[in-house]
Structure 1
Amino acid sequence: MRKVALAGACVLAVAVAGAAVAVLTDGGAGAATPAAATQVGVPATAAITRQDLVDTKTVSGALTYSGERQVTAGAAGTLTWVAAEGAAVRRGRALFRTDRKPTILLYGKLPLYRDLRLGVEDGPDVEQLERNLAALGYDGFTVDDEFTYATYEAVVEWQEDNGLPETGRVDAAQVVFLPSAVRVTDARGELGARTAPGQQVLTVSGLDRVVHVDLDTDDQTLAKKGAKVTVELPGGEKAAGKITSVGTVARTAKDSTTVDVDITLDKKPRTKLDQAPVEVELVSERREDVLAVPVEALLALREGGFGVEIVEGARTRLLPVKVGAFGSGLVEISGDGLAEGMKVGVPAA
């Protein structure tokens, strides 16, 4: 719940506390001395400070992995091996096997939309393939957008090393292009299951940890790309982070409408759990160079509004104040007669 609401609860608690609560007379100008102060002595005090005040709101999220996407089969057949959930798969490694033939992960942003072979038209997908072959240690060709006979020979060698038919032709049954190494988040395909082109076999994600928040659209103004946040992780671990993306498409589920917000942590978290629940502290409002007192210093006034009990030596007086932002257990106050360093009464506890 928002800290403003919590602060309001604190104010109400103070307002009904009994002897510690003072009220203005009906005239509103003269302040009555609290009974507790005259009978017991000088109350406990806190200083009015001048500082920046940050109001925050805490929302729920989940610690997960970046860039989730689906991997589909490129050919019909029987699944004979599937990478396990939680496994990390890097360039040149198999994601799954159909009829014992591997479908191998290669790096690239461009999906394999055509077979790559001798005679194919020049294009960036050819260069993407050659870049991967070079990274895996195959040579004898120039990394460019042309599929030459040297490229063909490198492909045949790569196919031989991986137990694939040595055709010199690369198709969707043999490779999947993804931007980087992946982590298997869901192994949909079961051993022995029949597959068909386009049928989902795996769900994978990136290896980087991110915090994902389904943020209510009413709070969308709190999430700005690049803004710093604080995240409370499982086990009480706290981590600093930065908002890296804010969705522009609202999603409606049950009684709420949300947008996607992703947060990158400054340091790698200790927990290895996926979808672990976390709490994210977003900055709602920042007030600079204001007078502030502890929330519990506020007193409810009979005619409405709030005041603070000014303590000057053995004497006390009640001063009405205007309340501003809340944050970190403090509240912004303003009004005539207030100054930094003045003492205000607070509950002894």
Structure 2
Amino acid sequence: MAGTDVADAPPRRGRKRHVLGAVALLAVVAAGGAAFVVIDHGGEPEATGTAKAPVATTSVVKTDLSDTRTLPGTLGFGAERSVRGAGTGLVTRLPKAGATVARGKPLYWVDDHPVPAFVGDTPLFRKLDKVGTRGRDVTVVANNLRALGYTIGYLPPQTPAAGKPSVPGDVFTAPLKSALKQWQVDAGLEPTGTLDVGQVVVLPGPSRVASIKAQLGDPVAEELITVTPTAKVVTVPVDATDVGTIRPKARVSIVLPSGKKIAGQVTAIGRTVQDVTDGSGQNTAQLNITVTPRKAADVKALDAAGVEVTFTSQVRRGVLAVPVGALLALREGGYALQLPDGKLVAAETGMFLRGMVEVTGTGVTEGLKVVTSS
């Protein structure tokens, strides 16, 4: 503070430090929700014999400041995804709710023929029967056959022809066609070496059957089942205005219904805003945060449950702190702490949290007694 030695200047005899304009100017600290007094130095002479009123004091403490919030969440398998059939025919067998979907194994049956599941990001949208066909659907077939242990041979890279757009994906080669035929033999399918629309169903990843939507005898080209991922996650609705304080991959703690605390990690932050009406009729915009337990075994015995999740957005360990009410905002700028004898000690502020503020500066030490308004 330029021109003011706040650490060593004792109060002048016969004068007192007074509140500017004889009125306390309260400034609200946004992060702490508390108030401090703006002061200057100087004022009118103190009346002789006036008794000094007792002041409240507190001590500078060394502590950890942690910005944490605990929110309710729901343990489960995450959002359900609808699975529709394709092609023609009638559904003759369906899986059971709760069943795990295995790559390359039948998920349902059409006209009493099994429809196996593949994993990928592109459904089969055409018949694959001609060697030389290129596309992302071919890549799905190649990746799944390779994952199932079949030798698919060399897949040549694309050499774009001049003036023609490139086509993403792999080529349906003769070795790949042969591998497909061998898989069909092993899976109990007709060994044609070809795949038509509806003969396999493509899911986005390892899946679990959540619910059954169709009945036996329904046309296959309808919603048949819903699936979820196989890993259990916690879904936490968070006010849209608070989502910015939560970071992907952030570590969190989860309290189970038993009271056991387990470790988790933020694995997804939703992008779809939902309007939620609370008990008072107020609408709140919320986004869903997905938290995954770090050890699946910790939630093995639970399929669904209400839990609590603690998020920590900022931590300051081993810092010096005082109640916000001990801060003095100086007229010339900056802050100070007032000692019981009236002296001022310059203080730099750091993190504000729940009525406490981090302070540093020359002379600011653990255990230092300072005046406080709270």
* TM-score, length-scaled by structure 2: 0.63
Q: 1:228 to 1:158 in 2, by over 3 A?
A: closer
The answer to whether residue 97 in structure 2 is matched with residue 85 in structure 1 is: yes
The answer to whether residue 346 in structure 2 is matched with residue 283 in structure 1 is: no
**Cα deviation, residue 194, structure 1:** 0.7
Q: Which amino acid aligns with 1:241?
A: G
Q: 1:232 to 1:63 in 2, by over 3 A?
A: same
State the SS of the aligned residue for 1:174. Answer: coil
The answer to whether residue 259 in structure 2 is matched with residue 230 in structure 1 is: no
State the SS of the aligned residue for 1:215. Answer: strand
Contact 1:231-1:240 within 8 A present in 2 as well: yes
Q: 1:104 to 1:258 in 2, by over 3 A?
A: same
Deviation track 1:97-134 (CA, whole Å, cap 9, x = no partner) reads: 12221111122222222221124622232233133224
Q: Which amino acid aligns with 2:95?
A: A
Equivalent of 1:195 in 211, 219, 239: 219
Q: Alpha carbon RMSD of aligned pairs, Å?
A: 4.0
The answer to whether residue 205 in structure 2 is matched with residue 180 in structure 1 is: yes
Contact 2:254-2:310 within 8 A present in 1 as well: yes
Q: 1:171 to 1:340 in 2, by over 3 A?
A: same
State the SS of the aligned residue for 1:270. Answer: helix
Deviation track 1:47-89 (CA, whole Å, cap 9, x = no partner) reads: 8531231132211111223574222112333322222222112
Distance, in Å, in 1 between the alignment partners of 2:205 and 2:195 is 19
Distance, in Å, in 2 between the alignment partners of 1:258 and 1:32 is 46
Distance, in Å, in 2 between the alignment partners of 1:342 and 1:241 is 39
Note the residue ranges of structure 1 that are not aligned, 5 or more in a row.
1-6, 9-26, 34-45, 299-309, 311-321, 345-349
**Cα deviation, residue 342, structure 1:** 6.0
Q: 1:289 to 1:106 in 2, by over 3 A?
A: same
Contact 1:102-1:162 within 8 A present in 2 as well: no
Q: 1:148 to 1:216 in 2, by over 3 A?
A: same
Q: Radius of gyration: which is bigger?
A: 2
Q: 1:111 to 1:257 in 2, by over 3 A?
A: same
Q: 1:140 to 1:334 in 2, by over 3 A?
A: closer
Q: 1:150 to 1:54 in 2, by over 3 A?
A: closer
The answer to whether residue 86 in structure 2 is matched with residue 62 in structure 1 is: no
Q: Which amino acid aligns with 2:135?
A: G
> Residue 268 of structure 1 aligns with which residue?
296
**Cα deviation, residue 247, structure 1:** 2.4
Deviation track 1:35-56 (CA, whole Å, cap 9, x = no partner) reads: xxxxxxxxxxx98531231132
> Residue 267 of structure 2 aligns with which residue?
244
Contact 1:121-1:146 within 8 A present in 2 as well: yes
Bigger mean CA deviation after superposition, 252-261 or 160-169: 160-169
**Cα deviation, residue 203, structure 1:** 1.4
**Cα deviation, residue 143, structure 1:** 4.7
Distance, in Å, in 2 between the alignment partners of 1:152 and 1:32 is 89
Aligned positions, number: 285
Aligned counterparts, 1:62-211, within 5 A: 62-65=74-77, 68-119=80-131, 121-139=133-151, 141-143=153-155, 145-190=170-215, 192-197=216-221, 199-211=222-234
Distance, in Å, in 2 between the alignment partners of 1:234 and 1:179 is 31
**Cα deviation, residue 209, structure 1:** 2.3
Equivalent of 2:238 in 190, 203, 215: 215
State the SS of the aligned residue for 1:194. Answer: coil
Q: Which amino acid aligns with 1:75?
A: G
State the SS of the aligned residue for 1:235. Answer: coil
State the SS of the aligned residue for 2:258. Answer: helix
Distance, in Å, in 2 between the alignment partners of 1:82 and 1:29 is 86
Contact 1:101-1:163 within 8 A present in 2 as well: no
State the SS of the aligned residue for 1:91. Answer: coil
Q: Which amino acid aligns with 1:340?
A: E
Aligned counterparts, 1:42-53, within 5 A: 49-53=61-65
Distance, in Å, in 1 between the alignment partners of 2:249 and 2:51 is 47
Bigger mean CA deviation after superposition, 149-158 or 274-283: 149-158
Q: 1:121 to 1:267 in 2, by over 3 A?
A: same
State the SS of the aligned residue for 1:230. Answer: strand
Q: 1:274 to 1:121 in 2, by over 3 A?
A: same
Q: Which amino acid aligns with 1:259?
A: L
Q: 1:155 to 1:67 in 2, by over 3 A?
A: farther
* TM-score, length-scaled by structure 1: 0.67
Distance, in Å, in 1 between the alignment partners of 2:268 and 2:88 is 38
Contact 2:132-2:173 within 8 A present in 1 as well: no
Q: More helix per residue: 1 or 2? A: 1
